[in-house]
Amino acid sequence: MTINKQILLGVSGGIAAYKSAELVRLFKKQGAEVQVVMTKSAMQFVSPLTFQALSGNPVHSELLDADVENAMGHISLARWADCLIIAPATANIIAKLSHGIADDLLSTLYLAATCPVYVAPAMNQAMWNKAVTRENIETLLRHGVKLIGPEQGDQACGETGFGRLSEPVVICKHLTDALEYQNHSPVQCLQGLKVLISAGPTREPLDPVRYLTNRSSGKMGYALANAALKAGAEVTLVSGPVSLTAPNNVQLIKVETARQMYDAVMSKASEHAIYIGAAAVADYSPVVMQPEKIKKQDAQATIILQKTKDILADVAGLDKRPFTVGFAAETHNLEDYAREKLIRKKLDMIAANWVGQEQGGFDSEQNALHVFWKSGDKTFSMMDKTQLAEQLISLIAERLKVS
């Protein structure tokens, strides 16, 4: 795979700056042209000469340098870039970017850039977990910046936790996938097709005031609905109870229980070219819903549950079946369970993701996926769900064509 693109790499001042040298090498190996911008503190960790030698271009660091401004000033550098990636991104640069502060070349370039921007954070785990950093990251995500990492593990400071810069190969793969996706412009890749998506949790009532549910926020399913619309599809969204606003131009069917979701999906499935089961459907529901509030009595209480009907498997079993995509959220043995479900439920594709971990999964803005189909698989590293949904829709469109 090649990246025939012009990549502007911003390096800010963290111990992980040395890893960016490897990043330049990997980008170049993929055919990219690379220009490097360093902050003052980055230059205390790694010499600009290293980046100059690896990129084959002079390193930029001054905002107001008359010579540099004439040659490649901040506006022309920003215009030159097909994408801007900041790796490592310190808590400081993240704070500046999220607030529009432009007091050096890198932060000014960010403001001037109209290309996609990627940020690969690297910092001590306490700094990463600090409320203000979390807010700054959320702000950047809202502003359309794409996040790569950080990863969990041992840190240079001797602590363990989230904050490690993603490995250069991971960052490079993430960018290659994203740029490849831009190349094959997914825009309108589902033009004229009808896509049915189920999203969110279900609620299984015990009595008039209580129900069983799960942690699903519906974010992935709603992001998929948006991405399918963007790709030109006509979208029907069957949604469990969530606090999200559905896009205006989808046909929205609101449901509560697994049974209601089953009925809604089954009545629509055959009219659609694609079904994506992104909902976290309850596997069991109470055998009886008590008509009156259950009273507190004994020290222990028993609820008898019965298995719900498997929507995904039944859609895949229809005579006139859509291209059927399932999700597998697992806390262990991810790959084995996902492959087993793909076969048992006779799916065309399954997107597996870890849940119960610190990063990604339910209610998170981000997720990572490992997608399987009969003859292949593809991994998507941790990224925001909007971006992930667009890439997954692109992959579905690609697989649909050859199925």
Residues in touch with ligand C5P (CB under 6 A): 258, 277, 279, 281, 283, 308, 310-312, 326-328, 341
Query: Alpha carbon 171 to chain centroid distance?
Result: 14
Alpha carbon dihedral 364, 370, 371, 375, in 10-degree steps, equals 180
CB 74 within 8 A of CB 111: no
**DSSP character for 136?**
H
CB of 191 to ligand C5P, least distance (A): 25
> What is the C-alpha separation between 96 and 92, in angstroms, rounded?
6
What count of Cα atoms within 13 Å lies in the side-chain half-sphere of residue 101?
10
CB of 315 to ligand C5P, least distance (A): 8
- Dihedral sign from CA coordinates of 72, 53, 156, 166: positive
Give rounded-to-5 percent helix, strand, coil for the chain: 35, 25, 35
Which of helix, strand or coil describes residue 55? helix
Instruction: Pick between residue 86 and residue 392 the one whose CB is nearest to ligand C5P.
Output: 392
Strand-pairing partners, residue 153, are: 161
CB of 372 to ligand C5P, least distance (A): 13
Residue 189 is a catalytic residue = no
Instruction: Pick between residue 30 and residue 308 the one whose CB is nearest to ligand C5P.
Output: 308
CB of 366 to ligand C5P, least distance (A): 19
* Two tokens, residue 203: 């609620």
CB of 275 to ligand C5P, least distance (A): 9
Instruction: Pick between residue 144 and residue 317 the one whose CB is nearest to ligand C5P.
Output: 317
* Two tokens, residue 41: 């503190």
Instruction: Pick between residue 74 and residue 203 the one whose CB is nearest to ligand C5P.
Output: 203
> What is the C-alpha separation between 214 and 199, in angstroms, rounded?
12
- Dihedral sign from CA coordinates of 45, 51, 53, 57: negative
CB of 216 to ligand C5P, least distance (A): 9
Strand spans (E) along 108-239: 117-121, 146-147, 151-154, 160-164, 194-199, 204-207, 210-212, 234-239
The residue from 83, 157, 172, 189 that is catalytic is 157
Report, as residue numbers or ranges, the catalytic residues: 157
